[in-house]
Structure 1
Amino acid sequence: MSNDKFVLQFTHEEALVLFDWISRLNELEDSSTIQDQAEKRILWDIESMLERSLPEVLDPDYESQLAAAREKVRDLEA
């Protein structure tokens, strides 16, 4: 197996929206979209990596910061 890394780049706002979505997926008891434990492991790992990089997740004003990030992401042009 290769030790090559795969790198994705996100804006700060995209990372915050992605973190929130993945953390909600990870909280689901019945995650019928998960077919294998490896998929769940990857979601946990991504959530953990994003959480370490996003100080907003511990901010009391998290919800309004998330709303602002969602708004900005929605308005991004492809």
Structure 2
Amino acid sequence: MDAVGYTEKDGDCTIRFSNDELLVIFDWIAQSNQHENNELDSATQLIFEEFECLLESILAEPFDNDYRLLVRAAKSRIIREAQRGF
């Protein structure tokens, strides 16, 4: 993950994620949305729901029969990479 750029003119920022990072983020958001005691304010909830929909449109893994296995593998790779250092 790295920040690519920020423009003060329009306030946009671009962040680059690996597929593994996006899959783990998607999984966390999806699990968070399933809990009724989720105490996010409306704006934050809206952003998370929009991000979840966006990730569903670009990730194939959430629709794979081995989804849980794929998430565990992605988490393992992220940990392994972090232990080696960026």
Q: TM-score range by the shorter chain?
A: 0.7 to 0.9
2:43 matches 1:26:
no
1:53 pairs with 2:58 = yes
Structure 1 runs of 4+ aligned residues shifted over 6 Å read none
- 2:28 is aligned with 1:6: no
List alignment gaps of at least 5 residues for structure 2. 1-8
The alignment partner of 1:7 has SS state of strand
What's the TM-score once normalised by structure 2's chain length? 0.78
The total of aligned residue pairs comes to 75
Q: Comparing both structures, which one devotes a greater share of its residues to strand? A: 2
Question: Gaps (5+ residues) in structure 1?
Answer: none
TM-score (norm 1): 0.85
1:39-72 deviation line (CA, Å, top 9, x unaligned): 0000001111111111011010111111110100
Q: CA RMSD in A?
A: 1.5
Cα distance in 1 for partners of 2:43, 2:10 equals 17
Distance (Å, rounded) in 2 between the aligned partners of 1:3 and 1:46: 20
Determine helix, strand or coil for the equivalent of 2:15: coil
Q: Percent identity?
A: 31
Q: Distance in 2 between matches of 1:42 and 1:50?
A: 12
Residue 16 of structure 2: SS of its match in structure 1? coil
- Mapped to 2, the partners of 1:70 and 1:24 lie a distance apart of 15
Q: Which has the larger radius of gyration?
A: 2
